Amino acid sequence: MGAGVRRHTLGILSLLSLWPCMTTQPSCPAGATPPELEMPGKWSVQLDSVDGGFMSLIVHSFLHSVQSNPFPKDLIIKINSGTATTETIKEVLRYQTGFLVCVAIGILYIVLMPLIGFCFACCRCCGNCGGRMYQKQTKSINCKRRVFYWATLLITLCILAGNICMFLSNTYTGDGVSTGVGEVNNTLKNLQSYIDTVPKQIDQVLNESSVTVEEVTCHINESGHFLGKQIQNGLEGPLKPALDSVRLMEQVVNRTSLLLLELNRTQLQLQTELGVLQNNLTSVRDRINDTLHKTNCLGCDLFQSNLDRLSLDTNLNTTNLTELQSAVDQAVNADLNAQINKGEELLDSIPQRVTNETRGSVQGIQQQLQNLKRQVSQVATDLPHETLNDISSQLSNVQKSFSNNVPQVKSAEQIRWIVALILCCLILLVVVCNLLGLLLGPAGLKPNDDPTDRSSTANCGGLFLMAGVGFSFLFSWIFMIVVLILFFVGGNIYTLVCVPWRSGELFQFLDTPGVIPGFQLSQNLGLKTNLTITGVYNDCHKDESLWNTLHLAEVINLNDFLNVSKYTAQVQQDFEKSQISLPNITLLSSGIQSQLRNFSTTANSVNFSSIIQKINTFSEADLKSTADELDRLTNNQANTTIKTELQNEANDLRFIQTQINITINPLVGQLKSTVERLSVLSSQVKGTVENVLQKVSYAQDVLNNNKTQIVKSKTREFIDSQMGILQKFAEWANDTITERVGRCGSVAAAVDTAENLVCTKLVDSVNAFWFSLGWCMVFLIPSIIFSVKLAKFYRQMKHKDVYENQIMMHPIPRANMKPY
């Protein structure tokens, strides 16, 4: 019994001294989500027209009428090749027929207007061709004046409308140039940002590949922890429940041992106390007996029968627990805690065993991972870095050159604006002269007055009209020269550049071999298919990546470079060569299992009910009632000595009763409680032992038969998980390189911005200006005619209207004139 108690105490101390094993966890980079690629800033193209949309429709309609021929692709190729012949020149003239007709009309205008103006001036100076200051008075003179007035007013308003369009077009052109300078600069910066961003995106892919490879490499290097942890998890499934059940069994054994120890100690103390009290009670009983047999004791014979009740029941032995004590001692001697430590040591040793046995294969796997890293780097190297660098350098030079020439552009624009403003003001001068004539003429005219007596106001109105005619003859031919130059240049730029640019024909033309000498985009990139500017522009409009836009799949086999599966087999083979093996252990030997079964059988066979019943029927001596009877017997005694002896003996009985209540009764209660707890615990022993044997048997079967399979399965899972990390990276890299790196929507936006600047903001504005100026030139001709006709109705005549018959002239009587 002593040895079992010592072992049990040592087991308890060992359990209390166990602390969780604190192992240093390896630090590997976490498998973070791949970062978002750095993207260049996107900008939208402002497609709203700045030239007054109403003019664009009119000018475009006019130019399409002038030049209705399609884009002369073949003709330009002939001219560009330098093999132009006379036939080629004829084709050019035929293509430009509409423009040539308009130019011929303009030249005729330029020649005739100053010539007619010169003749008109000479004739008027000679007093002919309307220069004679005489106006014939007829019945229809007022009607003619009104017709000429309203016709001149209508034509003047048409000229004013064209002049307003000139002012607006000039303003819009200036705004287009001023805003265009900033937009060109921003476009160049955005393109530069795009070109600079592409290498950064490629570097991001390379950095992510390095991070991923380092993560997998770290996991492989720390396979003792990561793979060992997975093998531990695989074995913990069957082994941990078995160890927990053994730990529970050990607790049951220890608790049973403690209860038996407590039971034996309580029982021993109870027997000792009962023996002492029994001796005291026997001594008191003997003295009472002596007193009762004295001759002077009155009525003592009747009390003699009460002496038999003065005894204590000391028969509380539990000898039938000896076998249980023996079985518990055997279970304690089995040292279940050592068996638990054996299983835990097996689990704890797995990481170090994996580390030791995979050390040789890790180096080969690291080499495979470095090969994969080099493959990804090779993909990045094969991308067109040099082309991007050349484009970036050229863009920098263009941007620098543009920034240097901005002051000259602004100066030239200021000169253009001033010249255009002067032209607008000269046309406005003609309009103002006409309007002043139309205002002052009717204001000072009195129809009933003689033409020679017209007021100075009316005469001033006529002079303003003639001044407008003079300015028209003086400047119109110069204006027409400006119109012809701007018409021929701006109209051809619109029809030959802007129209095919917007329709896409210009890109198709540039795709024609030989149009751009030395430009072979496909050959420069080593492509098999023909890469066209049209295709690149369309793909960029869809914001496609450089991979899809430039068809880089033809020169780079990305699937081969990022094929992780070809490394998986080698890594699997390297790990299988390591032959990770675990030692064979026996969780519970057959002897220990036999001891546990014996413990279960013994605990189940103990009749705790009889023991509890025996304790419940423990007879307690009623010494107090005996003492009371002695007191009554004492009252009947006449002898003082006997009376004193009986009183002392009654007090002794009461004292012994008090000692029973203080010592014996609590020990009996404690003994009963211990037996009850032992009974409850013993009732659980059978189920606990069966659970232990079942789980240990299953765990032992796994260790004996499935341990190797678990190691291989977890090794395969570990390799698959690491290859899965690489596979996810490969998929991300494939998707990023093919779908996201170098999305060229910025390039298409730059082309659209250039088209918007050149055609919408510049060419359309210039075309609107010459169209407005030409509009004014056309209406100057009827303005001259009607202004000359109308001026005679307002100017002061020098000769009166008379009837001419050969030489005789008779003045017309005023009385015969019709009123106004």
pLDDT tens digits, 384-413: 666 677 777 887 888 888 888 888 988 998
Q: Which of 244, 246, 240, 226 is nearest to 350 (CA)?
A: 226
Q: Which of 319, 320, 321, 341 is nearest to 329 (CA)?
A: 321
d(CA 300, CA 637): 9
749 and 694 both lie in a single domain = no
Question: Which pLDDT score is estimated for 779?
Answer: 92
d(CA 249, CA 194): 73
For CA atoms 426, 432, 438, 443, the dihedral sign is negative
pLDDT band (50, 70, 90) for residue 440: confident
Q: Which residues contact 603 (CB under 8 A, 6 or more apart)?
A: 256, 324, 327, 682, 685, 686
Helix (H, G, I), strand (E, B) or coil at 357: helix
d(CA 194, CA 160): 49
Question: Which pLDDT score is estimated for 128?
Answer: 57
d(CA 781, CA 759): 32
d(CA 703, CA 695): 12
Tens of pLDDT, residue by residue over 442-500, are 887 666 565 666 667 878 888 888 888 889 899 989 999 999 999 999 999 999 999 99
Report how many domains make up the chain: 2
Residue where the block lists tokens 């990804």: 376
pLDDT band (50, 70, 90) for residue 810: very low
| Arithmetic mean of pLDDT over the chain | 77
Residue 683 forms part of a structural domain? yes
755 and 640 both lie in a single domain = no
pLDDT band (50, 70, 90) for residue 804: very low
Helix (H, G, I), strand (E, B) or coil at 39: coil
Q: Give the end of a domain, one of 655, 685, 704.
A: 704
775 and 693 both lie in a single domain = no
Question: Which pLDDT score is estimated for 773?
Answer: 93
Mean pLDDT of 287-298: 81
273 and 337 both lie in a single domain = yes
421 and 531 both lie in a single domain = yes
Whether residue 743 contacts residue 39, with contact meaning beta carbons closer than 8 Å, is answered with yes
Report which of residues 341 and 749 the model is more confident about. 749
Q: Which residues contact 391 (CB under 8 A, 6 or more apart)?
A: 195
Q: Which residues contact 402 (CB under 8 A, 6 or more apart)?
A: 184, 185, 188
Which range has the worst mean pLDDT, 39-53, 98-112, 289-303, 564-578? 39-53
Mean pLDDT of 785-805: 67
Mean pLDDT of 721-744: 80
- Is residue 155 over pLDDT 90? yes
Whether residue 5 contacts residue 261, with contact meaning beta carbons closer than 8 Å, is answered with yes
pLDDT band (50, 70, 90) for residue 546: confident
- Structure tokens, 7: 């072992």
User: Dihedral through CA 809, CA 814, CA 816, CA 820, nearest 10?
Assistant: 120
Residue 731 forms part of a structural domain? no
326 and 243 both lie in a single domain = yes
Report which of residues 803 and 620 the model is more confident about. 620
- Is residue 801 over pLDDT 70? no
Say if strands 808-811 and 802-805 run parallel, antiparallel, or are unpaired: antiparallel
Residue where the block lists tokens 């005023």: 814
Q: Which residues contact 791 (CB under 8 A, 6 or more apart)?
A: 437, 441, 461, 462, 463, 465, 466, 469
Residue type, 309: R
Question: Which pLDDT score is estimated for 21?
Answer: 35
pLDDT band (50, 70, 90) for residue 527: low
The angle formed by the CA atoms of residues 762, 763 and 765, to the nearest 5 degrees, is 65
335 and 445 both lie in a single domain = no
Which range has the worst mean pLDDT, 2-16, 118-132, 454-468, 593-607? 2-16
DSSP code of residue 50: S
Q: Report how far apart, in Å, the C-alpha atoms of 506 and of each of 98, 139, 188, 536 are.
A: 21, 66, 22, 13
Helix (H, G, I), strand (E, B) or coil at 805: strand
pLDDT band (50, 70, 90) for residue 575: low
Report which of residues 811 and 205 the model is more confident about. 205
Q: What residue ranges in 437-589 does DSSP mark as E strands?
A: none
Structural domain span for residue 169: 53-110+139-182+405-511+518-535+745-798
Mean pLDDT of 565-577: 69
Query: Between the ranges 348-352, 499-503, 705-709, 728-732, where is the mean pLDDT highest?
Result: 499-503
687 and 758 both lie in a single domain = no
Q: Which of 63, 154, 115 is nearest to 490 (CA)?
A: 63
DSSP code of residue 664: I
762 and 685 both lie in a single domain = no
Which range has the worst mean pLDDT, 28-37, 190-199, 710-719? 28-37
- Is residue 813 over pLDDT 50? no
Which range has the worst mean pLDDT, 41-55, 201-215, 441-455, 772-786? 41-55
- Is residue 642 over pLDDT 90? no
Residue 615 forms part of a structural domain? yes
Query: Between the ranges 25-39, 390-404, 458-472, 595-609, where is the mean pLDDT highest?
Result: 458-472
d(CA 399, CA 193): 12
For residue 134, the cross-strand partners are 799
- Is residue 150 over pLDDT 50? yes
Question: Which pLDDT score is estimated for 612?
Answer: 78
pLDDT band (50, 70, 90) for residue 797: low
Q: Which of 539, 510, 536 is nearest to 525 (CA)?
A: 536
- Is residue 35 over pLDDT 70? no
Mean pLDDT of 223-243: 76
Report which of residues 495 and 24 the model is more confident about. 495
What percentage of residues in the chain have a pLDDT greater than 90? 11
- Is residue 215 over pLDDT 80? no
687 and 601 both lie in a single domain = yes
Residue 560 forms part of a structural domain? no
Distance of CA 201 to the CA centre of its chain: 16
Mean pLDDT of 237-257: 81
Question: Which pLDDT score is estimated for 52?
Answer: 46
Distance of CA 467 to the CA centre of its chain: 73
Residue where the block lists tokens 């390896």: 26
749 and 692 both lie in a single domain = no
588 and 700 both lie in a single domain = yes
Q: Report how far apart, in Å, the C-alpha atoms of 545 and of each of 201, 395, 750 are.
A: 12, 20, 16
Question: Which pLDDT score is estimated for 49?
Answer: 42
Whether residue 735 contacts residue 221, with contact meaning beta carbons closer than 8 Å, is answered with no
Question: Which pLDDT score is estimated for 6?
Answer: 40
Element (H, E) at 637: none
pLDDT band (50, 70, 90) for residue 637: confident
Q: Which residues contact 423 (CB under 8 A, 6 or more apart)?
A: 166, 479, 482, 773
> Which phi and psi angles does 25 have, rounded to 5°?
-85, 135
Question: Which pLDDT score is estimated for 806?
Answer: 38
Residue 445 forms part of a structural domain? yes
Mean pLDDT of 555-575: 72
Residue type, 817: M
Residue 782 forms part of a structural domain? yes
Whether residue 266 contacts residue 674, with contact meaning beta carbons closer than 8 Å, is answered with yes
- Is residue 798 over pLDDT 70? no
Q: Report how far apart, in Å, the C-alpha atoms of 747 and of each of 375, 385, 503, 538 are.
A: 30, 17, 18, 11
